[in-house]
Amino acid sequence: MDPCGRSQRRPHRLPQELTEPAPSFGATGIEREPGRDGRGRPQRPRWGSFYQPGGFDPAAFAAEPSGTSAITASSAAATLVQQIRGIGGGEPCVVVAHSMGGVVATAAAELEPSLFDHLVYVSAFAPVLGAAAEYSAGPENQGETYSSLLAADPLAVGAARFDTGNRSLHTAIRETFYGDVDEATADAAISLLTPDGPIGIPAEAFAVTADRFGTIPHSYVVCTKDNAIPVALQRRFVNEIDAVSTTPTTVTELDSSHSPFLSQPAALATIIAGTC
């Protein structure tokens, strides 16, 4: 039996890239050879043409269409279902969703509830009654600082775009996402961010039903110092999850920013382990 009391299965072999040692972090981010990622593999391009050999072009940055514009909540959920099925060997898994990843996990849980043993939201969007973008316009979202970081019109470029390479913005980015994370770790995290978040995920409304999503046990970790998703909005998500669920959501509060996995990893791990 495993620690959760379930029959123990043969361990599933993870892809090699997930079992290799993680790269080391320094005060300025991941140490890497030019042209290669933190594990020495050829670096995959993740920037647009606004990064040219001659330097950064702010005007192009604010105008270039995003390569992520075709991604939707449904397409991302289908990918997540495939990944869960592969990692768990077809058996149900505990799935942890953070931030906008909660939209994808919610859609995936509705799509294939049999693969979810428990769904843990960590300061995440859980849009049960409409598109996530509609919640962003609601009164519970007042006080968020996320939108002030936008470097382009999302509707024009097809993405929520941030200039993470502009060090003058790092203080504002830290306050939004990493308020209680030490500066060196926060800078390392910022260095791993890509500039575009696909707006097709929050823009899509999808059905969430009691017969599918509602049968899955849920937990929600409320982060009380979160400047990206205000506490009032997190609690609204909990109330709406409960309205379509068989059992009430287990709620735990952490006195943390938007990223407790960096500031309070042990406390968060204990919460997740407790869902077994």
* C-alpha closest to that of 47 among 195, 188, 183: 195
Give the separation between CA 197 and CA 151, rounded to whole angstroms.
12
pLDDT recorded at residue 53: 55
- Neighbouring C-beta atoms of residue 44, cutoff 10 Å: 6
Q: For residue 165, name the pLDDT band (cuts at 50, 70, 90).
A: confident
Residue 114, both tokens: 């049999």
Give the separation between CA 41 and CA 32, rounded to whole angstroms.
10
Average pLDDT for 203-231: 98
Calculate the CA 234 to chain-centre distance: 14
Whether the predicted pLDDT of 44 surpasses 70: no
Q: For residue 60, name the pLDDT band (cuts at 50, 70, 90).
A: confident
Average pLDDT for 260-265: 98
Residues 6+ apart with CB under 8 A from 77: 104, 105, 107, 108, 110, 111
pLDDT mean across residues, the chain: 85
Core vs surface per residue 48-77: b (16+ CB within 10 A) or e: bebbeeeeeeeeebbebebebeebbbbbbb
Whether the predicted pLDDT of 38 surpasses 60: no
